[in-house]
C-alpha cells in the first residue's frame, strides 16, 4: 500500500464524486468490485483473475480508501461487521 499525494488527491476526489455521491454510484462500485473478485480468495495459478482482483484493489486505493494511513480505520470497520454464516 501507499498514500495518495499531490495531484493524486485531486483525482481521488473526482473518483469519490463519481462513486460515493449517489446510491447508484455506490451500487455500480459494488458491482464492479464483486465482478473483479476483489474480496475473494483466488487460485495462485490464474494470472488473469489475479490481475482483475488487483485492479479492484487499485480502485480502492484510487478512491482514497485502501492506503497506509487508513489501515486502523479499515480494521475497525471490519471488526464492526457482524459474523454471518453463509446460506
DSSP 61-74: HHTT-SSGGGHHHH
Contacts of 19 (CB under 8 A, 6+ apart): 25, 26, 28, 29, 63
- Average predicted confidence (pLDDT) for the chain: 91
DSSP state of 81: S
pLDDT band (50, 70, 90) for residue 7: confident
* Collapsed DSSP state (helix, strand, coil) of residue 54: helix
52 contacts 38 by C-beta, under 8 angstroms: no
Percent of the chain with pLDDT over 70: 98
pLDDT digits (tens, 9 = 90+) for 43-81: 889 999 999 999 999 999 999 998 888 899 999 998 999
Tell me the mean pLDDT in the region 10-34.
96
Amino acid at each position: 500500500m501507499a498514500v495518495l499525494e499531490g495531484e493524486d488527491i485531486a483525482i481521488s476526489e473526482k473518483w469519490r464524486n463519481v462513486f460515493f455521491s449517489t446510491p447508484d454510484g455506490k451500487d455500480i462500485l459494488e458491482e464492479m468490485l464483486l465482478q473483479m473478485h476483489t474480496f475473494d480468495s483466488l487460485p495462485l495459478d490464474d494470472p488473469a483473475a489475479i490481475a482483475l482482483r488487483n485492479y479492484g484493489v487499485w480502485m480502492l486505493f484510487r478512491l482514497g480508501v485502501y492506503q497506509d494511513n487508513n489501515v486502523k480505520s479499515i480494521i475497525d470497520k471490519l471488526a464492526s461487521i457482524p459474523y454471518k454464516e453463509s446460506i
